[in-house]
Each structure stands twice: as structure tokens, then as C-alpha cells.
Amino acid sequence: MRLFGIETEYGITRDDVPEMDPVVESMELVRAHLVASFERRWDYAGEDPHEDARGFRVSGLQQDREEDEFAQRDAHRPFSFHDMKSDLVLPNGARFYNDHTHPEYSTPECRTLRDLVAQDRAGERIVHRAALRRNKALGGAHVRLYKNNTDFHGHSYGCHDNYLVPRAVPFAALVTGMVPFLVSRQVVAGAGKVGTEAQESQYVPGGYQISQRADFMEAELGVDTMHNRPILNTRDEPHADRQKYRRLHLIIGDANMCEYATALKVGTTQLVLDLIAREAVPDLELEQPVAAVKQFSRDPNLKAVVKRKNGRTIAAVDIQTQYYESARRTLSGLDEESDWVLKEWSETLQLLMEDRQQLVGKLDWITKQWLLETFMREERIDWGDPWLASLDLEYHNVDPETGLYMGLEGERKVWRLTSDEVIEEAIRNGPADTRGGLRGLCIQRFPDQIQSIQWEQVQFACGLRSHTLDMRDFFDPQEVVRCVGIFKVAQSPADALAVWTHRKDGSV
């Protein structure tokens, strides 16, 4: 059963003050989305990032220490930590909140790539429109938002892709099967980057690499997300029935502007998960995966090779090709979407080696490289010119008036899976066949009666009693559609839950 989603932390700047307070500015941006005043409803009791999929519980995370430091540092602020987060659940079922120094948009759960890309693009427009309202209050176009992963000062913020995985699949099999794929996935999903940097060092201009996130990968496995960042995150926080499911939470990915890259990033990853479940992945274990991430990223010519555990060497495109071949043999004909991913995956890998110009407007790192090289020729500068870092940043600006990628989209020079109409619909409604869409419907119909809300449940306050919509095991699309139909016509949450409970019990 397929279900996936994307969390995107946006870079934020403000140009009318000598020093921007990113905590306040991110909070104000999120709250600018609101017409009414903010009310706390997100239930943090459902969040526990300390469980490790390797079978133990960590006593503390770097983020715990940082949050304690933030609490001390922010003690002067006239709001609590949770008020600062300003968690909102939107009418499309997405979550929009302040991740302390970055506004973050998490898509609702999606079952198809078309829905996922639409919901991801909806996030761009939602955060941009919040910025417009914030700027109106400030009296000028001062706040800017970037869908990228680095500030070019040694800090990285994430774009995390998440997948529902059966608990029956051993975690060790996920590690063996996923790590080589994730190390090499950047040739399809990288966002491109001028220069190099890392958490412990400053930005070094010069050169071009495939991935923005590669510089910040420090471990093969780990539960942390802010320090010692791992290729494969081991957080065991399923937001579902723990006995049946786990959530694969990947933090290695770049934030993509190209719809094609987003679709391939998630589509190919889902196919590899299907291969792992069928015990059909190729044996490609790498000797030093963390080093390989950086080696592959820093060679946009795609000639770099890394050592495998069997002593042989292999290039990134060859790793991807072996995964593709296994998927073609095992998964061809599975469904229409899988066949589309297989076709596009194959063509993309071939074009990477033969005619990458055809991938302009489809893959971000190639599109950005083409833009920058065109600019360099016109201005007669080289990769060491600091001008290029600012252009790199502007590629990710979500403002359609100024963003470089947005300009290409306006000129119809990029590949589209969505349309403007589809994106606007995704802003209004979540997928009708997932609990994300149902969560959004609850926000649309009964906002004043929601007492608390999280990914897996909605608690309604109905008079003197509370009623809970439990969605921990709610993944069958037909059941979701039936429940959505009930909530659409019910006069109250209590009525909807009563009808739904009787239907499940076979009483009606």
C-alpha cells in the first residue's frame, strides 16, 4: 500500500532590518496565513522522535539540547515555545508551522505522484501568499522565501520525503537496500549548488556540484536530523499503528523546483521500497557511503567512482541503472504509475550520459547549471565569482515575479505534471482517498469544534463530551472515500462519527 509525503523547510530573509530575528519572522509568516487569530490545536503528545528503528530508545537528541537552549534564549519573548511554533492544519490537510527558524510546509499524505506534486506546489503558493500578506503589513517587499537547502553560511535546512512501510519489512533490509540508492539518487533529484560548505566550515566559492544537501551528510545511520545528519534516518515515529507500519523518514533529499525531479525522486524511491519488500534489490553495498555522497555530488561530469564492499568500483549512474534494471524485471506492469516511473527513470539515466541538455527544465541541477553557465558566458566570469551564489539562491525564490525557476516556468521552458488549476485545487482540498484529505475536510467543515489534531487523529469537542476520529490504521482508499462522504454531509462531527462507527460495525 503506497502512501508518501514531503516536508519542506523554507529559507527566509528580510531586507529592511540590519539583523532579522528568524524565530519571530518565521512565526509571523505562518500567522500571516490566518484571517482569524491563532489558536493552539496541534497535539504534540503524538510526537516522539526518540524511538530508534534499530530497536532502542535514545535518551536525548541534539534537537532536545537546542530546544532547551532556545527556551532559555527565548525566555524574554511574550509567547511560549508551542505558541512560537504556530502550528496550523490547513483545509487541504497539510501542516504549516514555524520550525523555530524556518517556516515549514508538510504536504498531506498522498497516494499518487500527481497528487503529491500538486500538494508540494500548493505549499509554494501558500507560503508565498503568506509572505505577500506579511509584506503588506511591513509596507514593502521585504520578506523573501527560498525553496532550497542552504544559506551559504554553513547552515542547512531540510526537505524530507516520507513513506509508509510495512513493519514486516526488516529494518536491516531497508538499510542494505536503500543506502546505495540514496547515495546515488542525487543524479536525478539534486538541486545543484555553487561552491562547497559544511556545518563546521564557511562557504567556499568555486565549482559546481549536484546536491545542496550532500555537504551536510555526516553518518550512514542515525536518529538525529539537525546534527550528525544520516543518509538513512532511523527515527521510528510511524504516525500510524506501530504494530503494522513504520514511516521511512528521509532527510538526505534536496528541495526540488522541477516537478519532474520531485516525481522521479519519490517515484523511484517508492519502487525501491517495493523491491526491498520483494527481496529483489541488487547487492551494491558501498564501502564508505558518507564519503560517496560527497564524491558523487562534487562531480557533475558523472565520472566519479566509489568502492563497493566487494572491492569493485562503481559510478552513481551505474548504481541507479542497476536499481532500475531490478525494478524493470520485478515491477513492470504493476500499475500505470509504476510503468511511467520506470519509463522516465530509464530515459533520464540515458540522457544523463548522452544528451543532458534535454533534461533542462526537468532536473534542477542540470537546469540551474545551464542557467549559470549561460550567465557566466555573457558576463565573462568563472565559477569562483561570488555573484553566482546569489543567483543560485534566486533560482529557488518562490516569488513568480523574481524567482529564476519561476521565470522559466512562466516562459513555459519547464516540464509540468500539474497545471495552475490543479495547484489551486490542491490548495483548497487534499487527496480525497487519503486521511490527509479527510483531515482537511474536518478543518473545512468543523473548525470551531476541533479540540486537538495531529497526523493520526482529530479530537472534537462536542458539548460536554469529546469524540475522536482515529486514523492510525486508516489507509484503505475505499474506506477513506466512504468516510469523506459521511463527513461531507453530516451536521456535526458527532453525527459523522456515529454513522461511521455504525457502518464499520455493520449496523447500517
Residues annotated as catalytic are 99
Q: Which of 352, 62, 59, 66 is nearest to 185 (CA)?
A: 352
Q: Cα–chain-centroid distance for residue 313?
A: 31
Q: Which of 98, 94, 96 is nearest to 116 (CA)?
A: 94
The one-character DSSP state at 300 is T
Query: Taking CA 387 as the corner, what is the angle to CA 383 and CA 390, rounded to the nearest 5 degrees?
Result: 110
State the Cα–Cα distance between residues 486 and 465, nearest whole angstrom: 21
The tally of CA atoms less than 13 A away on the side-chain side of residue 368 is: 31
Instruction: Provide the residue type at 350 as one letter.
Output: Q
- DSSP β-bridge partners for residue 198: 201
- DSSP β-bridge partners for residue 194: 208
Neighbouring CB atoms inside 10 A of 106's CB total: 24
What cell numbers appear for 319 in the block?
548504481
State the Cα–Cα distance between residues 246 and 406, nearest whole angstrom: 36
Q: Are 152 and 298 spatial neighbours (Cβ–Cβ below 8 Å)?
A: no
Q: Are 42 and 453 spatial neighbours (Cβ–Cβ below 8 Å)?
A: yes
Q: Are 120 and 262 spatial neighbours (Cβ–Cβ below 8 Å)?
A: yes
What cell numbers appear for 307 in the block?
568502492
Q: What 3-state DSSP class applies to 24?
A: helix
Residues in contact with 440: Cβ distance below 8 Å, sequence separation at least 6, in sequence order: 89, 90, 91, 92, 93, 94, 108, 429, 430
Q: Are 162 and 247 spatial neighbours (Cβ–Cβ below 8 Å)?
A: yes
Q: Which of 419, 315, 317 is nearest to 359 (CA)?
A: 317
What cell numbers appear for 288 in the block?
564508505
Q: What 3-state DSSP class applies to 166?
A: strand
Element at 454 (helix H, strand E): strand 450-454
